[in-house]
Amino acid sequence: MHEVKSPKKPLISYYIIIIAILLLFNLIAMPRINQMEIEEMDYGTFMRMTEKKQIGQVDIRDNEIIFTNKSGSKIYRTGLMEDPDRTQRLYDSGAVFSSEIVEETSPWITMLLSWILPLLIFIGIGQYLSKKLMEKAGGGANSMMFGMGKSNAKIYVKSSSGIKFSDVAGEDEAKENLTEIVEYLHNPKKYTEIGAAMPKGILLVGPPGTGKTMLAKAVAGEADVPFFSMSGSEFVEMFVGMGASKVRDLFRQAKEKAPCIVFIDEIDAIGKKRDGQIGGNDEREQTLNQLLTEMDGFEGNTGVIILAATNRPESLDPALLRPGRFDRRVPVELPDLKGREEILKVHAKKIKVDPDVDFNKIARMASGASGAELANIVNEAALRAVRDGRSCANQQDLEESIEVVIAGYQKKNAILSDQEKKVVAYHEIGHALVAAMQTHSAPVQKITIIPRTSGALGYTMQVEDGDHYLMTKEELENKIATYTAGRAAEELIFHSVTTGASNDIEQATKLARVMISRYGMSRDFDMVALETVSNQYLGGDSSLACSAETQTRIDEEVIELVKTQHEKAYRILEENQEKLHQLADFLYEKETITGAEFMDILNR
Ligand code: ADP
Ligand code: ZN
**Fold topology of 154-331:** Rossmann fold (3.40.50)
Q: Which atom of ligand 1 is nearest to the CA of 339?
A: 23
Q: Which numbered ligand comes closest to the C-alpha of 487? A: 2
Return the ligand 1 atom nearest residue 208 CA: 4
pLDDT of amino acid 447: 83
Among the bound ligands, the one closest to the CA of 231: 1
Ligand 1 proximity of 309 Cβ (cutoff 6 Å): yes
Q: How far is the CA of 130 from the centre of ligand 1 (A)?
A: 45
Other C-beta atoms lying within 10 Å of the C-beta of residue 582 = 15
CA 243, CA 250: separation in Å to the nearest integer?
10
Cβ(330) – ligand 1 distance below 6 Å:
no
What are the C-alpha distances in Å from 559 to residues 158, 428, 493, 505, 563? 60, 23, 24, 11, 6
Residue ranges per domain, the chain? 3-30+107-137, 38-97, 154-331, 337-407, 418-603
Q: What is the pLDDT of residue 277?
A: 55
Length of the chain: 604
Let me know if 354 is exposed, middle or buried by CB neighbors in 10 A (0-12, 13-18, 19+): middle
Does domain 38-97 bear CATH number 3.40.30.10?
no
Q: Does the beta carbon of 208 lie inside 6 Å of ligand 1?
A: yes
Cα 66 to ligand 2 centroid, rounded to whole Å: 46
Residue nearest atom 9 in ligand 1 by C-alpha distance = 211
Give the position, in ligand 1's atom list, of the atom nearest the Cα of 342.
24
**Does residue 212's CB lie within 6 angstroms of at least one atom of ligand 1?**
yes
Residue to mutate (ligand 1; options 82, 210, 214; most atoms within 8 A of CB):
214
What's the pTM value of the predicted model, to 2 decimals?
A: 0.56
Q: Whose C-alpha lies nearest to ligand 1, atom 15?
A: 372
For residue 226 and ligand 1, the question of a CB distance below 6 A is answered with no
CB 103 within 8 Å of CB 109: yes
Concatenating the DSSP letter of every residue in 151-182 gives: ---EEE-GGGS---GGGS-S-HHHHHHHHHHH
In which residue ranges of the chain is pLDDT below 70? 1-15, 22-23, 25-36, 99-115, 118, 126, 128-161, 236-241, 274-281, 300-301, 367-368, 407-416, 439-443, 450-469, 527, 529, 531-544
Instruction: List, in sequence order, every residue forming a beta bridge with 331; answer none if it has no partner.
Output: 205
Residue 522 CA neighbour count, 13 Å, CB half: 26
Query: Catalytic pick from 103, 373, 428, 557?
Result: 428
CB atoms within 10 A of CB 591: 15
Cβ–ligand 1 contact at 229 (below 6 Å): no
Q: Identify the CA nearest to 487 among candidates 446, 426, 432.
A: 426
Mutate to test the pocket of ligand 1, among 154, 176, 210 (most ligand atoms within 8 A of CB): 210
Atom of ligand 1 nearest to the CA of 215: 6
Beta bridge partners of residue 543, listed in sequence order: 532
**CA 566–ligand 2 middle distance (angstroms):** 13
> How many angstroms separate the alpha carbon of residue 374 from the centre of ligand 1?
9
CA of 335 to the centre of ligand 2 (A): 26
Q: What is the dihedral of CA 463, 469, 470, 474, to 10 degrees?
A: 30
pLDDT the model gives residue 484: 94
**CB of 346 closer than 6 angstroms to any ligand 1 atom:** yes
Q: Is 428 a catalytic residue?
A: yes
Which ligand is located closest to the Cα atom of residue 331? 1
The answer to whether 174 touches 215, Cβ cutoff 8 Å, is: yes
Strands of 449-575, DSSP E: 459-462, 531-533, 542-544
Class of domain 337-407: mainly alpha
Q: How far is the CA of 330 from the centre of ligand 1 (A)?
A: 16
User: Ligand 1 in contact with 50 (CB < 6 A)?
Assistant: no
Evaluate: CB of 209 within 6 angstroms of ligand 1: yes
Return the residue whose CA atom lies nearest to atom 5 of ligand 1.
Answer: 211
Name the architecture of domain 418-603.
Answer: Up-down Bundle (1.20)
Enumerate residues 6+ apart whose C-beta is below 8 A from 372: 208, 209, 210, 211
pLDDT at 6: 38
Determine contact, residues 394/354, Cβ cutoff 8 Å. Answer: yes
Q: Is 76 helix (H, G, I), strand (E, B) or coil?
A: strand
Report the nearest-CA residue for atom 7 of ligand 1. Answer: 213
- Counting ligands in written order, the one closest to the CA of 449 is 2
Say if ligand 1 is within 6 A of residue 348 CB. no
DSSP for residue 105? G
Tens-digit pLDDT profile for residues 80-137: 777 878 888 888 888 887 766 654 445 566 666 666 776 777 777 767 666 655 544 4
**375 Cβ closer than 6 Å to some ligand 1 atom:** yes
- Count of CB atoms within 10 A of residue 7's CB? 19
Q: Which long-range contacts (CB under 8 A, 24 or more apart) does 38-43 make?
A: 38/66, 38/75, 38/76, 38/77, 38/102, 39/74, 39/75, 39/76, 39/77, 40/76, 40/77, 40/78, 41/76, 41/77, 41/78, 42/78, 43/78, 43/79, 43/81, 43/386
